[in-house]
Amino acid sequence: LNRATLVALSLCYFFRLNGQTERESYTNAVQQVLTSDNKYAGKPLVETLRSEQEKLVNLMELPTGTATNRALTDNIFVLIACIINRIPVILCGKPGCSKTSSVQIVISNLKGKKSKNVYFQTLPELVPVSYQGSQNCTSDSIVKVFERADKYLKAKNKTELLSVIVFDEIGLAELSAHNPLKVLHSELEVETCRHGFVGLSNWRLDASKMNRALYLACPDPDVNDLQLTAKTILKSMTS
């Protein structure tokens, strides 16, 4: 129960923070509360979170040469938690912070009964329904994406399917003069959401959209991230 609570706090608050300093301040504040309770005997928030992330990522098959840096592990962990529980999630970060690659890795590993990992065999098979956002997209085109996702739910038989709407460049759609994202207000209500929903953006959306989804801020890579990425690239070139 303690671990589940800490993970839930991380999903709701920790991953929303964009800077390393802000994240450290949050974890320190949580740790002060935990240590003030003499009954708590668990690990600190950061250790608990990293342990859960590593266990999950280690179960996955990753493309050759993939560096399991902080951005990738954060993205994968949040994506699986949100998609499986049908919680809409929006990943925001600069190009190159593993947003698209993490989505591809999650979808390629979660194949239901056909998954290579025993744990993933207990989860639904993910079926991606992709949509490319632009400044010209309309409400009707977005509605049709949800209708396509509905068809997979109706078509499932012995195999449990979970359609996942992957809305790439959702930030560009927000700039459309047609105001197409207004249709998401009803579709992304957690109580009635039937699909997984992943929005990818290079910047934050307005509050009316962000408040309807779990928000993952992808911070800029630090020195350790860059070193790990460089070592992984070098290893793939020399092996």
Q: Where are the domains of the chain?
A: 59-238
Q: What angle do CA 91, 92, 98 make, to 5 degrees?
A: 70
pTM of full prediction above 0.85: yes
What are the tokens at 162? 């979970």
The stretches of 117-217 forming alpha helices (DSSP H) are: 139-155, 170-174, 184-187, 207-210
| Total H helices, total E strands in the chain | 10, 5
Cα 208 to chain centroid distance, Å, stands at 19
Is residue 53 within 8 Å of 10, Cβ to Cβ?
no
Instruction: Tell whether domain 59-238 is in CATH 3.40.50.300.
Output: yes
Q: What angle do CA 150, 196, 97 make, to 5 degrees?
A: 135
Q: What is the dihedral of CA 19, 24, 29, 33, to 10 degrees?
A: 130
Instruction: Name residue, tokens 């993939």.
Output: 66
Task: Report the DSSP pairing between strands 125-132 and 214-217.
Answer: unpaired
Q: What is the pLDDT of residues 27-70, one digit of tens each?
A: 999 988 888 877 777 788 889 999 999 999 999 999 988 888 88
* Average predicted confidence (pLDDT) for the chain: 89
Q: How far is CA 79 from CA 36, 63, 134, 156, 235, in A?
A: 32, 18, 23, 23, 28
Q: What is the pLDDT of residues 199-226, one digit of tens each?
A: 999 998 888 878 889 999 988 877 887 8
Task: Give the whole-angstrom CA distance, residue 224 versus residue 10.
Answer: 21
Please determine, for residue 135, whether its predicted confidence score (pLDDT) is greater than 90: yes
The upper half-sphere exposure of residue 92, i.e. CA atoms within 13 Å in the direction of its Cβ, equals: 20
3-state secondary structure of 38: coil
Task: Give the whole-angstrom CA distance, residue 161 versus residue 158.
Answer: 9
Residue 159: per-residue pLDDT: 64
Mean pLDDT of 72-78: 95
Q: What single letter denotes the amino acid at residue 188?
A: L
